Structures are given as structure tokens and as C-alpha cells.
Amino acid sequence: MISSIIEFAERWYPDVEVVSRSTEGPIHRYTYKEMGVRARKLASGLSTLGITAGDRVGTLAWNGYRHLELYYGVSGSGAVLHTVNPRLFAEQMAYVINHAGDQVIFTDLTFIPLLEGLKDKLSNIKHFVIMTDREHMPETSLKNVHCYEELLESGTENYQWPEFDENAPSSMCYTSGTTGNPKGVVYSHRSTLIHAMASSVPNGLNIGGLDSILLVVPQFHVNAWGVSYAALMNGCKLVLPGPAMDGKSIHELLDREKCTLSLAVPTIWMMLTGYLRESGKTLPYMKRVVIGGSAVPEAMIRSFEQDYDVKVIHAWGMTETSPLGTLNFLMPHLQELDYEAQMPTKIKQGKAIFGVDIRIVDDENKLLPHDGVAFGKLQARGHWVTSGYHGEESAIDAEGWFDTGDVATIDKDGYMMITDRTKDVIKSGGEWISSIELENVAVGHPSITEAAVIAIAHPKWDERPLLIAVKAGPIEKDELLDYMSKHIAKWQLPNDIMFVEELPHGATGKLNKLKLRDDYSDYKFPDA
Ligand code: ADP
């Protein structure tokens, strides 16, 4: 039961702190003991909203202590926590709330205007609970509105956590819908607990009681990579940044709360390292940084490890895999190499952790060799890999393999490397060109901040790559092509380069290639 985690933290680590930057402004601090009491009050208060076992409860919230209480109060009571990504387009947000069948929405103050705009489309919602105290309750056109702190006061701390089937659903999260409508993934108490235990081990995120963790990865994104659970299991201090995710605010928390470990997508770390360079500040307490969600640029690994003495843990996963699938740590024979010789392995997505298995197969589902060269469809199976999507048929084959939609290689030491997503590779005259590889090479040039490569139809080659890039300094097309030709084969070079002010991003901060393909649907290469 997920409730066993909060019971454990409350009993054995009662004085360990949870520190949150609140939406109202000030820093909030309390202990696991206080959190345990409030989570029980919340769980008992839910019945006054008519919530019973199996009912879906939506949240629209930043990382904070009230959101954490919902993680335990809702799932612990037997209801299902649906963390809605507030960065979805309004239409998609209404779609996921309705599709999940949410009955109640808990919202941060930030998202009230958004909900007011959507309320006519949310026919199932019986109550809105605003995650604040009486003093900060706003005027709103939403109906059936409650104040979070008053709901807690109405509950009792003598509430007993119920015991039920470990396979019962505990939470759900929708994929960001980069292709069509978002799809719902449902996690169980069992899958969530096993995932959190497996992710804590040294070959995983290596979480221990000495850690103070800054959880930047949103609680609305795959249960904050499971760390909302793993931190309590290990008695770690947990720091939650609220809405402020700029470099300065993140550094302030890392420094003040002496954080040893933090987790986020590359975009966040780009902002932090930018701030560190400008301000001359350092990271004296940080030991490890977990980066995943999209490929970690080599320059970022170098910056953290060489400039700030922080070890990078590169991780791969997806909503469908809870999310952890592979993590990169170097085996002893690789540790012995010098830093430059380690780099080709460091940039890979890493090795599977116990509990999840991965394989690569060709179009006929034939196994491909682990030689670091052959690439094919990446499949995963295991205790925390989904068997299907909410309201849809099973998504796994007879042997339990789930097709991730990623294309990857696996080398002789078992290190997996994502070379692309199935729908993003450029199919040029029977050969595949990795869009990710071209992007990585392009951003290796100091005058390029960000780059995206998409396939454009070509009369001779079927498809050829178009590079769309954001400049950091003065640079011309030919200079960039010249630079890239030193790193990749000539036939892989983009046929053209466009410079833009910014690139479109989706709800989880990833490049939105669907939009780019749309924007450039009429584009034709000069030689076509
Ligand atoms: P969506 O599938 O909607 O983008 P997810 O957040 O579940 O939402 O994204 C999972 C995908 O993100 C993976 O299938 C993979 O393509 C990409 N991804 C995750 N981690 C990494 C990584 N470390 N390197 C490269 N790609 C990654």
C-alpha cells in the first residue's frame, strides 16, 4: 500500500523536513510527522466530497507539500490520483480530465483562471478544491468550491489507512500527446512501490538517507519520476520548488537547503548552468544530478562534472514505464579509462535496472545484436511497464513486450543509446539518419543554443534532413555545415539550415516536432 510509505516516514523519520516554495510566496517547512497527520486528515476529508475507492481525483498543481499530501491522502484512501499536466493545451486538458473521469479537481491558485475558462467542458467535476488557506481564497466563477485547509480541518487524524488489493490503481498520468490525443497510463500500488524501491538502489538513482533532494521534475510528470515515494522510503529531506524553476530560484534552494541530489529535464539544467556562468556561483553541496526526459547534451555532462564537480546520472524512461527504464553508471573497466574515453559511454542512456528488461528488434520483430551499431525498435517489459492505456485494448504482445516508439542501439556492455523516435528518423534512400544525432552535433557548435531536425520529402531520396536552429552568436549556414561535416558522414548532413528565434516545445518541455513538421509542410529543398 502507498500508505505504508507515509506511515514509515512518519514513524521512523518524524523530524526530517519537507521544504516547499509555496504558490502564495513564502517558503514552507514541516516534518514527515506533520505531513503524516495532514495526509490522514485529507484522506478522511475526501469522503465529504463523495470520493470513494477507485474514484479519480485530478490535480493541477506545482511541486509542493499540499500536492505531496494528495499523493498519499488520495492513493492511500483507495482513490486514484490523476496528476494533470497544466502545460497541456486547453482542449487536451479538458480531454484528459473527462477521459479519466475525474470527479474532483484540486488546484493551485495559479490555475484558477485556466479552469474558469474550461469549466463548461468539465461535465463530470462535482467539486473544485483550491489548494490554499481561507485567507488566500480568491473570488472565482467556479461552482462548488472548497478551501483545502478547511477540508483538512474537517477530517480526522485518527483515520486508519485501509488495506486492499495491491494491484488496485493508485495514480494515473497521461502521455504528453506528441502524436494525437494524450493516452492515460494507470499505476498500481504494487507497481509504484516496486518501482520506487528499485529506483533507490545504487545502480538506480542511488537515493539514501544522507540525501537532501530538490525535486524539480514536476509532480504532474510520471509521479515526479517516482521520487515522491522513494524520498520518503529513504527518509530523505525533500525540497519542492513550486512554480519558480528559473536558474536563480533553483540555485537558491540547492544552496540554502544543502541539496545533494536533484532531478530534471535538460531544459531546466540549461537555465541553471547559464545562471551559474553569469553569476559565478557554484554548487558546493550537490553530488549528483539526474537528467532524463530527452537526451543529455555532452556539453551539459562536461559542465556539471568538470566545472561544478557534480556527477551526472543520465536516465531514460517514459510515462508508460513509470518512468525508469535505464540509468547510466560506468562499470569498473570503464571507470579506469580517462575522461575523454569515457564520454562515448556517458552520453548513452544506460543499462536496464533490475525489474525491467529491454531489447531491440527489427521490423520483423527479430532480435538485433548488442554491438552498439545495429539499431531497431526498443521494447520494454517488467513490473512497472504498462500493459495498456486507460480505456483501450492491451498495448503489449503475448510475451509482455511493450513497444516504446524509440529507436536504439545496445552495446556489448549493455549500454542502450536512443538514436531516435520511430516517427522522427529520416529515411533517406533506404538508410536511416538519426535526427537526434544531427541535433547533438549542431548544438556542439558554441554559436548554436538549440536545434531540431525534421524529415522533408525529397524527390530522389524520399526524405532528407532539414536543420532548424537557434543562434547564440553570429554564424552562417556554410560555417555550421562545415563544422558538422567534421563529426558526421557527408550523406547525413542536412540539405538546408533555417535559423529561427525560438523552437516550439510541448507540454513536457520537449521539442514539438509535430508542430515543426506542420510549419514546414510546404517547405522544399533548394535542390529538390
Ligand atoms: P511523450 O512520450 O509523450 O513524449 P514521455 O515523457 O513519456 O512523454 O516521454 C518519453 C520519451 O522521451 C521516450 O520515449 C524517449 O523518446 C524520450 N526520452 C526520455 N528520456 C530520454 C533520454 N534520456 N534520452 C533521449 N530520449 C529520452
| pLDDT confidence of residue 87 | 85
DSSP 271-319: HHHHHHHHH----SS--EEEEESSPPPHHHHHIIIIIS--EEEEEEE-G
pLDDT tens digits for 363-397?
889 999 999 999 999 999 999 999 999 999 899 99
Which whole number is the average pLDDT over 398-426? 94
Which three cell numbers, joined as nine digits, stand for 41? Answer: 486528515
Cβ-Cβ contacts under 8 Å for 11 (sequence gap 6 or more): none
178 lines ligand 1 (CB under 6 A): yes
Cβ atoms of 252 and 273 within 8 Å: the answer is no
Q: Look at residue 139 and give its three-state secondary structure.
A: coil
- Is any ligand 1 atom within 6 A of the Cβ of residue 316? yes
Instruction: Tell me if 235 CB under 6 Å of ligand 1.
Output: no
Strands (E) in 304-394, as ranges, are 311-317, 324-327, 351-352, 356-361, 376-382
Judge if the beta carbon of residue 421 lies within 6 A of ligand 1: yes
Q: What pTM did the predictor assign?
A: 0.90
In testing the pocket of ligand 1, which one of 85, 217, 289, 318 has its CB within 8 Å of the most ligand atoms? 318
How much distance in Å is there from the Cα of 323 to the middle of ligand 1? 9
CATH number, domain 3-244: 3.40.50.12780
Q: How many C-beta neighbours within 10 Å does residue 160 have?
A: 9
> What confidence tier does 504 reach under pLDDT thresholds 50, 70, 90?
very high
pLDDT of residue 25: 80
So what's the pLDDT on residue 140? 97
Q: Is 294 in the pocket of ligand 1 (CB under 6 A)?
A: yes
- Consecutive H or E run containing 408: strand 402-410
Q: Give the torsion sign (CA, 227, 228, 231, 234).
A: negative
Cα 257 to Cα 251: distance, rounded to the nearest angstrom: 10
**Residues in the chain, overall count:** 528
Give residue 285's pLDDT.
98
The C-alpha cell at 187 is: 499505476
CA–centroid distance, residue 87 to ligand 1 (Å): 17
Instruction: Give the Å distances, CA to CA, from 414 to 240, 349, 372, 384.
Output: 34, 10, 9, 20
pLDDT above 90: percentage of residues in the chain = 86
Through-space distance between the first and last CA atoms of the chain, rounded to whole angstroms: 60
Characterize 480-510 residue by residue with b for buried, 16 or more Cβ atoms within 10 angstroms of its Cβ, and e for exposed: bbebbeeebeeebbbbbbeeeeebeebbbbe
Active site residues: 175, 320, 427, 432
Mean pLDDT of 183-211: 96
Spans of all domains in the chain: 3-244, 426-519
The helix/strand count (H/E) of the chain reads as 17, 25
pLDDT higher than threshold 70 for residue 321: yes
Q: Is the CB of 418 under 6 A from ligand 1?
A: yes
The pLDDT of 220-233, averaged and rounded, is: 97
Give the number of the atom of ligand 1 that is nearest the alpha carbon of residue 295. Answer: 24
Give the pairing type, strands 212-215 and 237-240. parallel
Q: Tell how far the Cα of 452 is from the centroid of ligand 1, in angstroms.
A: 15
Residue identified by cell 492515460 is 184
Reduce the DSSP state of residue 222 to 3 states and report it: helix
pLDDT of residue 137: 97
- 420 within ligand 1 shell (Cβ under 6 A): no
Assign 179 a pLDDT band (cuts: 50, 70, 90).
low
For the segment 510-527, the average pLDDT, to the nearest whole number, is 90
The mean pLDDT value for 221-247 works out to 97
In three-state secondary structure terms, 456 is strand
pLDDT-derived band at 156, boundaries 50, 70, 90 = very high
Please give the radius of gyration of the chain, using alpha carbons only, rounded to the nearest integer: 23
Label residue 423 by pLDDT band (50, 70, 90): confident
Q: Can you tell me the distance from the alpha carbon of 450 to that of 468, in angstroms, rounded to the nearest whole number?
A: 9
- Strand (E) or helix (H) holding 213: strand 212-215
> Which residues lie closer than 8 Å to 41 by C-beta, 6 or more apart?
73, 152, 153, 155, 156, 157, 159
- Measured at the CA of 366, the angle between CA 346 and CA 491, to 5 degrees, comes to 55
Atom of ligand 1 nearest to the CA of 405: 14
Does 427 score more than 90 pLDDT?
A: no
Per-residue pLDDT at 253? 98
Fold topology of 426-519? GMP Synthetase; Chain A, domain 3 (3.30.300)
C-alpha 130/C-alpha 524 separation (Å) is 50
User: For residue 317, what are the CA distances in angstroms to 22, 79, 132, 142?
Assistant: 29, 26, 33, 37
Q: pLDDT at residue 178 above 70?
A: no
Q: How confident is residue 339, by pLDDT bands cut at 50, 70 and 90? A: very high
pLDDT at 220 over 80: yes
Burial per residue of 377-391, b for 16 or more beta-carbon CB atoms within 10 angstroms, e otherwise: bbbbbbebbbebbbe
Rounded mean pLDDT of the chain?
A: 95
* Backbone φ/ψ region at 324: left (φ over 0), alpha (ψ -120 to 50), beta: beta
Q: Are strands 27-31 and 17-21 parallel, antiparallel or unpaired?
A: antiparallel
Cα-based angle 153, 154, 157 (whole degrees, multiple of 5) = 70
Question: Helix or strand or coil: residue 511?
Answer: strand
In the structure grid, which three cell numbers stand for residue 37, read together?
497527520
Residue 53: Cβ within 10 Å count: 12
pLDDT at 461 over 90: no
Contact 235, 210 (CB under 8 A): no
Which of 96, 222, 269, 316 has most ligand 1 atoms within 8 Å of CB, for mutation? 316
CA pair distance 293, 264, nearest whole angstrom: 8
Q: Which helix (H) or strand (E) holds 13?
A: none
